[in-house]
Structure 1
Amino acid sequence: MDSEQPSFADVEYGYRRRVSKREQFLEQMEATIPWQVWIDLIEPYYYLDRPGKTGRKAKPLAMMLRMYLLQVWFNLSDEGVEDAIYDSFAMRRFLGVDFTVEQVPDATTLLHFRHLLEKHQLGQRLLAAQNDLFEREGWIMRGGTIVDATIIAAPSSTKNAAGARDPEMHQTRKGNQWYFGMKAHIGTDAGTGYVHSVTATAANVSDITEAVHLMRPDDTAGWGDAGYLGVDKREEITGDPHLAGVTWHIAARKSQLARMHPHERAIESRKAGVRAKVEHAFLIVKRDFGFTKTRYRGLAKNLHHLHVAFALANWLMRARAVALTMAAA
C-alpha cells in the first residue's frame, strides 16, 4: 500500500543490503490477503462518511484494517502498535503512511475500530469469507474434520481496576500443572489443515463438548485426540441425523499403546499423522503471532481475536504452501 510518489525514506531504504524478516513477512501477506474482499465486508459498518458527525475525519478503512492486522500479527497493545509503526519502516510502508502528509492513527482510533469489528462480529465473518474463497479456489478437500483445543492463559492476578480475576475464565489441570484461562477449540480441514471453525470456552470445559460445533454439514469423518473418546455416543451427536453417521477416528489413551498389537499401533500412527495437521494452526497463532495469553477480558473479545488470528494463520499456511510449490518447480 505504498503512496504513488516514493518518499525520501523509501529511497534511502532502497539501498539496504538486507531485508528484515519482518519486512519479508509483511510483503508476503501484502501479496496474499484478498484485501478488497475484506474491505468490502467491513465497509457497510465503517463510518468513513459520517453525515452530521463532527470531529476528526475518519481514517481510510484500508489503513485501519492494516493497522489492526499488525496488532494481531505482532501481539501488540493499541499504544504498542502505534509506537511500533513509528519505529519500523516495514510497518510504516505496509500501512501506507507518508509522514509528510499524515500521521499514524492513534491508539484510541484503533481501539474504536476494534470495537466496531467486535460489535458486528466481523472477525467471524472474515474467517467465513476466507473459507468461502478457499472453497471456490478448490484449496479445501472437504470430507473430514480434525478437532482439537488448546489452553490460552489469562492473567490470574487480582491487582487490577476490578480487583478480581476475569469471571469468564477458569482454572483447569493438564497433567500435573494448573492453568487459569480459556480454551480455543478449532475444527480444521483434514486434508489441508486449514481452520474452518473456532469456538471459545472457559479452560475447565471439556474438549468433547465442543465437537458438535466444529464439524461441517458435509463431513463424513472426524479425528481427535484421546480427549474426544466417546464423542460418538454423546446425545448431541447421536441426536443429529448427519453427525450420527460420521466415522470417528479417535486416538487411544497412551496407557493402552504398550498393550496393543503392532497392527493396532500402526493404525494409531496413521491417526496421529492426520491429527498432526491441526497443530500447525495452533503453532502459528501461539508461537508466530504470540497469542499465548489473553489480551482482553471476557470470552467474546478473545474469540473475535481468535477468529481473525486463525483466518490469518490460514493465509500464512497458504502462502507457505505456494512458496514450497514454486521452489520445487
Structure 2
Amino acid sequence: MVKILVLQQLYNLADDALEYQLLDRRSFLQFLDLTESSSIPDAKTIWLFRDRLAQAGAGSLVFEQVQQQLHKHGYMARCGQIIDASLVQAPVQRNKREEADTVKEGAMPLTWKPHKRAQKDVDARWTKKHGKSHFGYKLHASVDKRYKLLRKMSITHAAVADTTVFESLLDRTNTSRDVYADRGYPTNEREATLKQAGWRVHIQRKGSATKGIFEAQKKRNRHIATPRARVEHVFGALAQMGGKLVRCMGIVRVTFALHLKAASYNLKRLVFLKEGGLVPF
C-alpha cells in the first residue's frame, strides 16, 4: 500500500484518479506486483490507509527508510548542505474576523458545528512574501550540495520565521562542514555559535532599511548564490510533483503528505543519479 502512495505522489494524482490509473495502467500493476484488478484498493480504502498513517506519524519513518536506501546505494550527504524554506499553499479558509482571532489563539469557535469543524483548517496561517499574502504551511529543508537530495526537513505553518528552525535542520552526517543559506538566516549570534561548533558558514548578508551592504558583502553574496541555488532546483522539482500545494487539512496530514512527497522525490532523484552514471564517492 505504501508503494501506491508513492505512485500517487510521483504523478500527483487524486484518490479517484489513482484508482482509475491502477485499473488502467499495466506498468502500475507491475510496480505493485499485482496481477488481478480485484486486488486493487478503491479510492476510499486508499484515503483511509493514508489517514491512518498520518495520524500515526508514519511520514517521518517513511522518509528515514528512504534515507537508508540512499546510504545503501552509497549516496551519502556530501560537499556541504543548503538550508532553505518554501511556502506550501493550502485551501484558503473564509472565516469571520472573530473566528480568525479565536483560531490564532489555538482554540475552536464555539459556534462551529462538528461538520463545519471537519472542513476547517485551524493549523494553517497567513503570511506575506514579496508583498503578496499566502495561506498555508512552510516546508523547511536541508539539501546536500553534491546530490541535491533532501536530508532533513520540518513542517510548520506559514507564519513561522525561517530562522527559528535553522539549527534543527543541520545535518551532522554530511561529510562537509559547509552550510549555505540565504539572507533570511543571518545573525551574529548564530554565526558565532556555528563557527565555534566547527561549521563553515556561508550565509548571505542583508542590509537594513536605512543602510545597504558593502561591495565586498555583495561580492560574497554572489559567490554564495551559485551553490545555494541548488536547493531551489529541489523545490522546483517538488512543485512539478505537486509539492507546492496540499489538498489535505491540518498539520498532521500535511506533515505526512510532505514527508511522503520528499521521500518520493528522493527515490526519483536516486534513479536519475544511477541512470545518469553519477557514481557516489
TM, length-normalised to structure 1: 0.68
Aligned to 2:40: 104
Distance 1:161-1:72 versus aligned 2 partners, 3 A rule: farther
Distance in 2 of aligned mates of 1:112 and 1:164: 17
Post-superposition Cα deviations, 1:221-267, rounded to whole Å, max 9, x if no partner, equal 3111111121x5149x94x9x97442321123389998514xx5553
Match of 1:80 among 6, 9, 17: 17
1:233 is matched by which residue type in structure 2? E
Match of 1:200 among 152, 155, 159: 155
Aligned to 2:222: 269
Aligned to 2:28: 91
| In the alignment, structure 1 residue 184 sits paired with structure 2 residue 184 | no
Distance 1:83-1:125 versus aligned 2 partners, 3 A rule: same
Distance 1:228-1:74 versus aligned 2 partners, 3 A rule: same
Where relative contact order (Cα < 8 A, 6+ residues apart) is larger, the structure is 2
Distance 1:158-1:92 versus aligned 2 partners, 3 A rule: farther
Once the two structures are TM-superposed, the CA of residue 134 in structure 1 deviates from its matched residue by: 2.5
1:180 is matched by which residue type in structure 2? F
Q: Alpha carbon RMSD of aligned pairs, Å? A: 3.0
CA contact (8 A) 2:55 2:252 kept: no
How do 1:249-328 residues align onto structure 2 when only pairs under 5 Å count?
249-253=202-206, 260-261=215-216, 265-287=218-240, 289-325=241-277
Once the two structures are TM-superposed, the CA of residue 187 in structure 1 deviates from its matched residue by: 0.8
Once the two structures are TM-superposed, the CA of residue 97 in structure 1 deviates from its matched residue by: 3.8
Larger Rg: 1
Aligned to 2:86: 150
Distance 1:211-1:92 versus aligned 2 partners, 3 A rule: same
Aligned to 1:132: 68
For the residue of structure 2 that corresponds to 1:68, the secondary structure is helix
Once the two structures are TM-superposed, the CA of residue 94 in structure 1 deviates from its matched residue by: 3.2
CA contact (8 A) 1:146 1:188 kept: yes
For the residue of structure 2 that corresponds to 1:149, the secondary structure is strand
Q: How many residue pairs are counted as aligned between the two chains? A: 255
Distance in 2 of aligned mates of 1:317 and 1:113: 26
Match of 2:122 among 139, 144, 167: 167
Distance in 1 of aligned mates of 2:207 and 2:231: 19
Moved over 4 A (4+): 254-259
Post-superposition Cα deviations, 1:48-82, rounded to whole Å, max 9, x if no partner, equal xxxxxxxxxxxxxxxx2222112212222322311
Aligned to 2:106: none
How do 1:53-64 residues align onto structure 2 when only pairs under 5 Å count?
64=1
Distance 1:84-1:135 versus aligned 2 partners, 3 A rule: closer
Aligned to 2:182: 225
Distance in 1 of aligned mates of 2:274 and 2:30: 24
Distance 1:120-1:74 versus aligned 2 partners, 3 A rule: same
Once the two structures are TM-superposed, the CA of residue 286 in structure 1 deviates from its matched residue by: 1.2
Identity of aligned residues (%): 25
2:178 is matched by which residue type in structure 1? A
| In the alignment, structure 1 residue 212 sits paired with structure 2 residue 167 | yes
Distance in 2 of aligned mates of 1:233 and 1:164: 43
